[in-house]
């Protein structure tokens, strides 16, 4: 049987984690990234137990531990004045604290370092896809072409390949922009160690967590806007406007903001669940399939799960079988991602105190620990194997926070 060839369009966290998952299962991989070099701008991302257990199985555990920042039991939710609402869950049901704050560039470097030399092709912007019963063919703006048995579009919410699966549609603006940046931990000596902290106010919220082995604090301030903000990780934000948005909040928030020298901002967008994720030999992955608001921190984690599921379902299969396998990937994954997409929207409203009284909000925050445990306990590899080998239906993720 010929070795299956996968072409991954997009060299971000989703594309590189999928590449590692596929390589682990004996599938040949080529990654095509439009940028001239791999890179992520300075921003934080959470790695939660549901994805960390998968990355550790790929052999990446020591490298992640070296650059990540452990987030532990000091984590908590607060009202804007500092009144403690409750703890933030940082373990799965077994008590395993598999949770890191990561600088995106550090995570990307770990993922890229595990991929064989020559498998990542930068400067390749995909402009067209052609496929037939035997193969898929990609065309790039630089004139290059590539053939593969399966094409995985991991190229984000504005995916160039999404139009080959569903009619083009604009992302949906959430009405909020996020300011983000990094502050050296040494500038805030009184800051709680290994803590993820969230302050919730009227129409806005603010969060902080450590990255880069605890040497930096990643902050994000979410504020409402009357006009759409560009969806860009690198748009320069207004540091004074950020500080003014949280004036009068709890002292740790205002103290951190006093140390901010510059920041970035980006608009928050997602999409309603797409009617389809696959077409022939093409599969969408991560934000190309199910873009999520960041209020559960699961965007990158769900992209990791997507890649693992695809690898399990494609392992050992003949190239001719790919068009039959990919719809099964979609059927398996969207049972989970549709719920997480919806709950990310809901959680943003909760953090912004827009779901009823503060007492109801605080009760839902406390009750969310049960949902998060089920979220973190999930083992996508084991579930995908059961789905593949025994036809077991994917488990549903329940939301009952009221």
pLDDT digits (tens, 9 = 90+) for 144-197: 999 999 999 999 988 999 999 999 877 777 778 888 999 999 999 999 899 999
This prediction's pTM: 0.94
Q: Answer yes or no: is pLDDT of 233 > 50.
A: no
Clarify whether residues 163 and 179 are in a common domain.
Answer: no
Clarify whether residues 209 and 314 are in a common domain.
Answer: no
Clarify whether residues 157 and 239 are in a common domain.
Answer: no
**Domain endpoint, select from 270, 286, 313:** 270
Bridge partner list, 29: 6
Clarify whether residues 236 and 265 are in a common domain.
Answer: yes
CATH number for the domain spanning 184: value is 3.30.9.30
Residue 347 lies in a domain: yes
Residue 80 lies in a domain: no
State the residue range of the domain holding 256: 172-270
pLDDT confidence bin for 40, thresholds 50/70/90: low
Question: For residue 269, what pLDDT is reported?
Answer: 79
Clarify whether residues 136 and 275 are in a common domain.
Answer: yes
CATH number for the domain spanning 333: value is 3.50.50.60
Clarify whether residues 226 and 162 are in a common domain.
Answer: no
Clarify whether residues 252 and 287 are in a common domain.
Answer: no
Question: For residue 11, what pLDDT is reported?
Answer: 96
Question: For residue 228, what pLDDT is reported?
Answer: 55
Q: How many folded domains does the chain comprise?
A: 2
**Domain endpoint, select from 249, 270, 291:** 270
Residue 92 lies in a domain: no
**Domain endpoint, select from 224, 254, 270:** 270
Q: Answer yes or no: is pLDDT of 276 > 90.
A: yes
Residue 60 lies in a domain: yes
Residue 76 lies in a domain: no
Q: In what order do the strands lie in the sheet with 145-148?
A: 126-131, 136-140, 145-148
């Amino acid at each position: 049987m010929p070795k299956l060839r996968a072409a991954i369009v997009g060299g971000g966290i989703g594309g590189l984690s999928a590449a590692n998952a596929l390589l682990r299962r004996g599938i040949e991989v080529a990654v095509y990234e439009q940028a001239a070099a791999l890179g992520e701008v300075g921003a934080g991302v959470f790695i939660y137990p549901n994805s960390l257990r998968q990355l550790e199985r790929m052999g990446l555990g020591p490298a992640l531990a070296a650059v990540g920042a452990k987030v532990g039991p000091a984590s908590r939710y607060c009202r804007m004045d500092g009144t403690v609402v409750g703890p933030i869950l940082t373990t799965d049901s077994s008590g395993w604290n598999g949770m890191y704050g990561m600088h995106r560039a550090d995570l990307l470097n770990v993922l890229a370092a595990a991929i064989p030399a020559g498998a990542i092709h930068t400067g390749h912007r995909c402009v067209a896809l052609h496929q037939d019963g035997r193969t898929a063919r990609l065309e790039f703006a630089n004139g290059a072409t590539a053939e593969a048995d399966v094409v995985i579009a991991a190229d984000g919410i504005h995916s160039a390949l999404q139009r080959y699966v569903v009619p083009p549609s604009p992302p949906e603006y959430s009405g909020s922009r996020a300011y983000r940046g990094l502050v050296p931990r040494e500038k805030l000596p009184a800051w709680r160690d290994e803590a993820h902290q969230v302050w919730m106010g009227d129409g806005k919220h603010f969060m902080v967590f450590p990255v880069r082995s605890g040497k930096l604090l990643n902050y994000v301030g979410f504020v409402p806007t009357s006009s759409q903000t560009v969806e860009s990780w690198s748009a320069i934000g207004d540091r004074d406007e950020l500080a003014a948005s949280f004036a009068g909040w709890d002292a740790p928030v205002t103290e951190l903001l006093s140390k901010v020298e510059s920041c970035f901002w980006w608009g928050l967008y997602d999409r309603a669940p797409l009617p389809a994720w696959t077409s022939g030999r093409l599969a969408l992955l991560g934000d190309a399939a199910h873009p999520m608001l960041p209020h559960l921190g699961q965007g990158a984690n769900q992209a990791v799960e997507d890649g693992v599921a695809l690898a399990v379902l494609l392992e050992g299969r003949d190239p001719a079988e790919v068009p039959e396998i990919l719809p099964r990937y979609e059927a398996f994954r969207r049972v989970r991602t549709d719920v997480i997409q919806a709950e990310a929207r809901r959680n943003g409203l909760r953090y912004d105190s827009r779901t009823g009284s503060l007492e109801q909000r605080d009760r839902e925050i406390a009750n969310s620990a049960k949902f998060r445990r089920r979220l973190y306990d999930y083992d996508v590899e084991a579930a995908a194997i059961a789905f593949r080998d025994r036809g077991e239906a994917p488990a549903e993720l329940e939301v009952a926070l009221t």
